[in-house]
Structure 1
């Protein structure tokens, strides 16, 4: 895998999928940090406040992936993670070129995180599992704890993104280790 550039508002386009209680605040912090956001949510009205801050609402996870360098997802359940990231028609993976990074912040299963990592790696892309703790208050205040699993170079490249959303950010180990750690918190 190639070396990755450090994420910065000047050069990194971020996709954000899942604008619920947690996601809306997290995405808002990224916009306030200066990042350009492409967003997708199943309920378009949930995106209104982010659109007013400059985010672009797109129609599918695939479109978000095509127009972003890093795509963050925080959705409801493991089945939603599979649909958003791996769907053969409109999933993020189909819109990724080598070198792009997926960050799934959904609380999910370690085995799914490993599967996602492997499928993205086969395409020359990166996948980090990065569940959070701190709840909606932590999301609102950008004080989330973020437990990350995946490759060191992808983690390092995304550290400015993580730091815009949380205060305690740690690489726990290989793919799936973020989810393993979250299951014990």
Structure 2
């Protein structure tokens, strides 16, 4: 796409990740319409040239491609199929891309509902947290029609680095579920390693520096262990949203007849923290599960 023929873009959901993602699109020179339930979160983007829209309906009426990244599956359904929803008011030939981590079955439903109106719907959840969003190096996992993926790809490349087309509608969400399954048990391992090192009387930072270059290396260890050591539990990803993701993954696993005991344990541990008031902390706050 040349500068002259860049389509108008919509972005709905300007939270921890969405605000940065929308900012990259604006910086790349695309006309950008934005909507968020809390209008104040859009102020910085509007000051930089984004156009405020009063509802998803208004975004659908103005934009050729619309990205959404909202909280929970019920929020996704309302954003797309509600009275002021995108699909409800969308025009034939437009592209809607849900980047929320949501239910694979809902992704398929949105795809089918969009198809009835000649609207292309992609499920494209992301991984990389607030850091990946800020640095435009998210992993983006996409399900839906290949032609629609190819059309939207230049926009994905503005927001991420590892962009993969996985297959039919719902495939992106299933891939994100696999990602969350891996992270869930992995975060337990990171926290247990820090607890062990501290109880052993070691310099925990030196331990992290050492093991992060070997077989224990992981994004969670490199990105979140330093935050834990600084007692920084601000959210790159909210505990409440992670519990939502794990619930979806366990439900999908049950449908497929598989048992995921590691994931079930992680969900139980995070739910205990949420009950103690940590639901709006970052996932690294799992470290607080141990009284050390």
Question: Shorter-chain TM-score: which interval?
Answer: over 0.9
Q: 1:71 to 1:184 in 2, by over 3 A?
A: same
Deviation sequence 1:8-61 (CA, Å, 0-9, x none): 673310010001010000000000111111010011110011001100111110
Q: 1:121 to 1:9 in 2, by over 3 A?
A: farther
In structure 2, the partner of 1:83 is: 78
Output the TM-score relative to the length of structure 2.
0.60
Distance 2:60 2:17 in 1: 21
In structure 2, the partner of 1:103 is: 97
Alignment pair present for 1:69 and 2:58: no
Is there any run of 5+ residues in structure 1 with no aligned partner, and where?
Answer: 1-5
Say which SS state the counterpart of residue 103 (structure 1) adopts: strand
Alignment pair present for 1:16 and 2:19: no
Say which SS state the counterpart of residue 101 (structure 2) adopts: coil
Say which SS state the counterpart of residue 31 (structure 1) adopts: helix
Q: Which of 106, 125, 128 is equivalent to 1:131?
A: 125
Alignment pair present for 1:158 and 2:166: no
In structure 2, the partner of 1:3 is: none
Give the count of matched residue pairs. Answer: 179
Distance 1:140 1:130 in 2: 18
Output the TM-score relative to the length of structure 1.
0.94
Distance 1:178 1:7 in 2: 28
Q: Which of 136, 139, 146 is equivalent to 1:145?
A: 139
8 Å Cα contact 1:40/1:61 also seen in 2: yes
Q: 1:73 to 1:7 in 2, by over 3 A?
A: farther
CA RMSD of superposed structures (Å) = 1.2
* Structure 1 segment 50-61 matched on structure 2, within 5 A: 50-61=45-56
Say which SS state the counterpart of residue 108 (structure 1) adopts: coil
Distance 1:172 1:9 in 2: 31
Q: As a proportion of its length, which structure holds more strand? A: 1
Q: 1:8 to 1:84 in 2, by over 3 A?
A: farther
* Structure 1 segment 24-39 matched on structure 2, within 5 A: 24-39=19-34
Bigger radius of gyration among the two = 2
Distance 2:173 2:13 in 1: 18
Distance 1:135 1:49 in 2: 20
Say which SS state the counterpart of residue 38 (structure 1) adopts: strand
Say which SS state the counterpart of residue 106 (structure 2) adopts: helix
Distance 1:152 1:83 in 2: 26
Q: Which of 11, 21, 40 is equivalent to 1:45?
A: 40
Deviation sequence 1:73-130 (CA, Å, 0-9, x none): 000000000000111x200012211110000000000000000000000101100000
